[in-house]
Structure 1
Amino acid sequence: MNSIVNLPNDDRSCGWYAALPEPLPAKRLSGQRTADHVVIGAGFAGLAAARRLAEHLPQSRILLVDAQRIGYGASGRNSGFVIDLPHKFALEHPDPRHKQRLLGLNRAAIDQLQTLIGRHGIDCQWSHAGKYQGAVGERGLAYLEHFEKLMADLGEPYRLVERDELAGVLGSDYYSRAIFTPGCYLMQPAALVRGLGASLPANVEVLEESPIQRLEKQAGGHWVLHGKDGSIRTPSVLLGTSIFTQEFGYLRNRLLPVMTFASWTRPLTDAEVAAVGIQADWGLTPADHAGTTVRMTQDRRLIIRNTYKHVPRYGRSVGEGTRAKIRDDHRKAFLARYPQLAGVPFTHTWGGAYAISRNFTNFFGQLDDGIVATACDNGVGAAWGTISGTLLADRVVGAQSALLSDIQTVTGMPSLNPPEPFLGMGVRTRIRWAAWNSRSEL
Structure 2
Amino acid sequence: MIALPNDDNSCGWYQALPPAAPATRLKGSQKADYAVLGAGFAGLAAARRLAELKPDARIVLVDAQRVAEGASGRNSGFVIDLPHKFALEHPDPVHKQKLLGLNRAAIAQLQGLVERHGIDCQWSAVGKYQGAVGERGIAFLEHFEHLMKDLGEPYHWVDKAELGRVLGTGFYRQAIFTPGCYLMQPAALVRGMAEHLPENVELLEQSPIRSLRREGGLWRLQGDEGEIQAPTLLLGASIFTREFGYLKNRLLPVMTFASWTRPLTDDELTRYGGELNWGLTPADHAGTTLRMTADRRILIRNSYKHVPKYGASVSEGMRSKIRADHRKAFLDRYPELAEVPFTHTWGGVYAISRNFTNFFGELEDGVYASACDNGVGAAWGTISGTLLAEMAVGADTQALRDIRQVTGMPSLNPPEPFLGLGVKSRIRLAKWQSRSEL
Alignment of 1:305-324 (within 5 A): 305-324=301-320
- Quote the Cα distance in structure 2 between the aligned partners of 1:369 and 1:156: 40
Which has the higher mean CA deviation after the structures are superposed, 92-101 or 143-152?
A: 143-152
- 2:235 pairs with 1:239: yes
Q: Residues 254 and 306 of structure 2 are in contact (CA less than 8 Å); yes or no, is this contact kept in structure 1?
A: yes
Alignment of 1:272-311 (within 5 A): 272-311=268-307
Any idea what SS the aligned residue of 2:35 has? strand
| 2:426 matched residue in structure 1 | 430
The superposition leaves residues 34-84 of structure 1 with CA deviations (integer Å, 9 ceiling, x where unpaired) of 110000000000000000000111111100000000000000000000000
**Structure 1 residue 130: Cα displacement:** 0.1
Match of 2:347 among 340, 348, 351: 351
Alignment of 1:129-278 (within 5 A): 129-219=126-216, 221-278=217-274
Any idea what SS the aligned residue of 1:295 has? strand
- Quote the Cα distance in structure 1 between the aligned partners of 2:318 and 2:228: 38
**Structure 1 residue 276: Cα displacement:** 2.2
TM (norm. structure 1) is: 0.99
Alignment of 1:375-414 (within 5 A): 375-414=371-410
- Quote the Cα distance in structure 1 between the aligned partners of 2:157 and 2:393: 45
Amino-acid identity (%): 73
2:32 is matched by which residue type in structure 1?
A
Any idea what SS the aligned residue of 1:88 has? coil
1:198 is matched by which residue type in structure 2?
E
CA-based RMSD: 0.6
- 2:54 pairs with 1:57: yes
Match of 1:105 among 98, 102, 106: 102
- 2:415 pairs with 1:415: no
- 2:28 pairs with 1:31: yes
**Structure 1 residue 272: Cα displacement:** 1.2
Any idea what SS the aligned residue of 1:153 has? helix
Q: Residues 254 and 307 of structure 2 are in contact (CA less than 8 Å); yes or no, is this contact kept in structure 1?
A: yes
The superposition leaves residues 288-312 of structure 1 with CA deviations (integer Å, 9 ceiling, x where unpaired) of 0000000000001000001100000
Any idea what SS the aligned residue of 1:58 has? coil
- Quote the Cα distance in structure 1 between the aligned partners of 2:2 and 2:305: 20
| 1:70 matched residue in structure 2 | 67
Any idea what SS the aligned residue of 2:86 has? helix
- Quote the Cα distance in structure 1 between the aligned partners of 2:271 and 2:362: 55
- Quote the Cα distance in structure 1 between the aligned partners of 2:8 and 2:377: 19
Q: Residues 65 and 207 of structure 2 are in contact (CA less than 8 Å); yes or no, is this contact kept in structure 1?
A: yes
Alignment of 1:75-86 (within 5 A): 75-86=72-83
The superposition leaves residues 210-267 of structure 1 with CA deviations (integer Å, 9 ceiling, x where unpaired) of 0111111113x21111011111111010000000000000001100000000000000
- Quote the Cα distance in structure 1 between the aligned partners of 2:322 and 2:9: 16
Which has the higher mean CA deviation after the structures are superposed, 271-280 or 49-58?
A: 271-280
Match of 1:17 among 10, 14, 19: 14
- Quote the Cα distance in structure 1 between the aligned partners of 2:266 and 2:95: 46
The superposition leaves residues 185-213 of structure 1 with CA deviations (integer Å, 9 ceiling, x where unpaired) of 00000000000000000000000000111
- Quote the Cα distance in structure 2 between the aligned partners of 1:32 and 1:59: 20
- Quote the Cα distance in structure 2 between the aligned partners of 1:255 and 1:276: 41
TM (norm. structure 2) is: 0.99
Which has the higher mean CA deviation after the structures are superposed, 268-277 or 334-343?
A: 268-277
| 1:96 matched residue in structure 2 | 93
- Quote the Cα distance in structure 2 between the aligned partners of 1:155 and 1:173: 30
**Structure 1 residue 5: Cα displacement:** 2.2
- Quote the Cα distance in structure 2 between the aligned partners of 1:130 and 1:156: 13
| 1:41 matched residue in structure 2 | 38
1:165 is matched by which residue type in structure 2?
E
1:79 is matched by which residue type in structure 2?
S
The superposition leaves residues 294-334 of structure 1 with CA deviations (integer Å, 9 ceiling, x where unpaired) of 00000010000011000000000010110011000000000
- Quote the Cα distance in structure 1 between the aligned partners of 2:75 and 2:111: 18
Q: How many equivalent residue pairs? A: 438
Q: Residues 2 and 211 of structure 2 are in contact (CA less than 8 Å); yes or no, is this contact kept in structure 1?
A: no
- Quote the Cα distance in structure 2 between the aligned partners of 1:267 and 1:223: 47
